[in-house]
Amino acid sequence: MKTIQAAIAFAFILFTINPAFAQYGNGYGNGGYGNGYGGGGYGNGNGYGSGRMSQGMGGQSNFNTKPKEVPVEETVAKIMEDMKTELNLDALQEIAISNVLTESIKEQGILLKNESSSQEDKISQIQALSEVTNKRVTQFLDNGQKEKYTIYIEQRKNQTGTKKSKKKK
């Protein structure tokens, strides 16, 4: 009988102490009091807690931050701003092409988020989507604008190529 009471008392103490230590640094060894006053552990421990105090005071953790997604409409607006001046688009063409680009960018986002596809599959699907989008855009252009559009697309490809080479350096 005493062993059962001792086991229950031990379990009770164990379960009440664990949350108490967890308040000072996410458990044992992730920084905070469990790892000494010197702050250590795995990254965001500051010695007196796991960064919760610093996050509450304006600091941010580097582990859980994602780059903000730019809205599709904003991206299309920037593209259309350039394209409108380069190709001398009228209002109807501008609306039609912006709808095509919006749909294309949304599909591209879906393709990129698809985790079941390999990287090579994603690249080939995006290239195919790009070709379809270019064909759909050229349907709204006259012959002079089509020539300007092919030059515009080539310039954009060259711009992204130079950006990629700068990132590699």
> Are 142 and 116 in the same domain?
yes
Q: Which residue from 61, 63, 62, 35 is spatially nearest to 48, judged by alpha carbons?
A: 35
> Are 92 and 18 in the same domain?
no
pLDDT band at 162 (very low <50, low <70, confident <90, very high): low
| Domains of the chain: total | 2
- Collapsing DSSP to helix, strand or coil, 60 comes out as coil
- CB under 8 Å to 109, separation ≥6 — which residues? 72
Q: What percent of the chain has pLDDT over 90?
A: 35
Note the pLDDT of residue 34: 47
Look up the domain containing 153 and give its range.
72-168
Residue 139 included in any domain: yes
> Are 82 and 125 in the same domain?
yes
> Are 114 and 153 in the same domain?
yes
Rounded distance, CA 149 to CA 79, Å?
A: 12
Rounded distance, CA 105 to CA 77, Å?
A: 12
> Are 92 and 148 in the same domain?
yes
> Are 15 and 94 in the same domain?
no
> Are 86 and 132 in the same domain?
yes
Note the pLDDT of residue 145: 93
Tens-digit pLDDT profile for residues 114-152: 888 889 999 999 999 999 999 999 999 999 999 999 999
> Are 160 and 79 in the same domain?
yes
> Are 120 and 150 in the same domain?
yes
Note the pLDDT of residue 158: 85
Query: Across the chain, what does the average pLDDT equal?
Result: 75
